[in-house]
Amino acid sequence: MRESEAAAPPGSDADAEAAEGAPHDRPAADAAAATILVLGGTAEANALVAALRQRWPERRIILSLAGRTRTPELPDDAEIRIGGFGGAEGLAAFLAAECVSLVLDATHPFATGMARNAARAADLAGIRRLKLLRPAWTPVAGDRWTTVTCLAEACRALRAGARPFLALGRQHLSPFTRRSDIRPLARMIEPPEPVLPSGWTLVLSRPSTNSRAEAELMREHGITHLVTRNAGGAASYAKVEAARELGLPVIMIARPPAPEGAVFETVEDVVGAIG
Ligand code: NAP
């Protein structure tokens, strides 16, 4: 866990606050009063909203989604807003308009644009921001990982004739569509646009949390490699376990660097840090 404070603009409310003590030094009762914005799109964000609701039932909590998924999984009884803010400045304007005093960035580890904007907007607004970032996966005995830094490198790592399982999401397939010498299986929640090249197999579903089901899918389709990003967390780890079980090589795309500032690995750590 790491934490550092964003600098408050001179003359801002946060600047005045800084004279009295940093925002994280406020008593819990004060912290319970103001609106929290949770940037979501992940299972952790939903769990965080549920935990916040339980801890501060009277507090206004807004969950923000990008709107990529038509039928997102959502926490019960949450106030939801959907769609981009219009960059960091747009988000800063939203924070002011909605009297948000705390931003919790629980977006996906690869959602670097939103993480950057959240950091900048919180700075502009002079409010506190915490990042919830689940730990990355690390290889264990039996894993056959090749770690790469980007999609293009992952694509180059596949030999001609490979039948890779691309567990990547529909917006991350384009480098692979240019390889006519591989026959990928792609899994995603909603259909891709444009349609996939001939010779590809499409499976429309969410990742299974059951490694046996994931192994069965790979076996059934004669998969030779798993290609995935190092998302971390339990929800999509079953495919990595399945590849280990089948002795398959994994092309693992490493994470981008975490944003500057406060980073917490669990929902409990974030709630504990709020006060
Ligand atoms: P990104 O590249 O970091 O963000 C691109 C733009 O999408 C942002 O600049 C922002 O638009 C908008 N945006 C992203 N997250 C938002 C949110 N929670 N609420 C409102 N606007 C948001 O993000 P991405 O990789 O496209 O991911 C989009 C969303 O899907 C994220 O919320 C993320 O948590 C979720 N997700 C991503 C992945 C992944 O693999 N990247 C996997 C699972 C879930 P404006 O600049 O207009 O504000």
Tens-place pLDDT, residues 59-89? 999 999 999 888 888 998 889 999 999 999 9
Where in the sequence of the chain do the CATH 3.40.50.720 domains occur? 13-135+257-274
What distance in angstroms lies between residue 111's CA and the mean position of ligand 1's atoms? Answer: 5
Q: Which of 55, 78, 76 is nearest to 65 (CA)?
A: 78
Within a 13 Å sphere around the CA of 83, how many CA atoms are in the beta-carbon half?
3
For ligand 1, whether the C-beta of 207 sits within 6 Å is no
In a mutational test of the pocket of ligand 1, which residue from 107, 133, 187 has the highest number of ligand atoms less than 8 Å from its CB?
Answer: 107
pLDDT in tens, 11-45: 333 333 333 333 433 444 454 468 999 999 999 99
Q: What is the per-residue pLDDT for 185? A: 98
Is the CATH number of domain 13-135+257-274 3.10.20.80?
no
Name the burial class of residue 106, with classes exposed (0-12), middle (13-18) and buried (19+) by CB atoms within 10 angstroms of its CB: buried
Q: What is the per-residue pLDDT for 34? A: 86
What is the Cα 115 distance to its own chain's centre?
A: 9
What distance in angstroms lies between residue 130's CA and the mean position of ligand 1's atoms? Answer: 17
Q: What is the per-residue pLDDT for 73? A: 87
The helix (run of H) or strand (run of E) holding residue 238 is helix 238-246
Q: What is the per-residue pLDDT for 33? A: 63
Q: What is the per-residue pLDDT for 26? A: 44
Its pTM stands at 0.84
Q: Which CATH architecture has domain 145-253?
A: 3-Layer(aba) Sandwich (3.40)
Rounded distance between C-alpha atoms, residue 176 and residue 169, angstroms: 12
Rounded distance between C-alpha atoms, residue 112 and residue 203, angstroms: 27
What distance in angstroms lies between residue 107's CA and the mean position of ligand 1's atoms? Answer: 7
Residues of the chain with pLDDT under 50: 1-29, 31-32
Q: What is the per-residue pLDDT for 27? A: 42
Q: What is the per-residue pLDDT for 77? A: 81
Q: What is the per-residue pLDDT for 8? A: 35
Separation in Å, CA 216 to CA 169, 201, 219, 242 = 20, 15, 5, 8
The helix (run of H) or strand (run of E) holding residue 145 is strand 145-148
Q: What residues are paired with 2 via a beta bridge?
A: 263
What distance in angstroms lies between residue 268's CA and the mean position of ligand 1's atoms? Answer: 23
Where in the sequence of the chain do the CATH 3.40.50.20 domains occur? 145-253
Report strand pairing: 185-188 vs 164-167: parallel
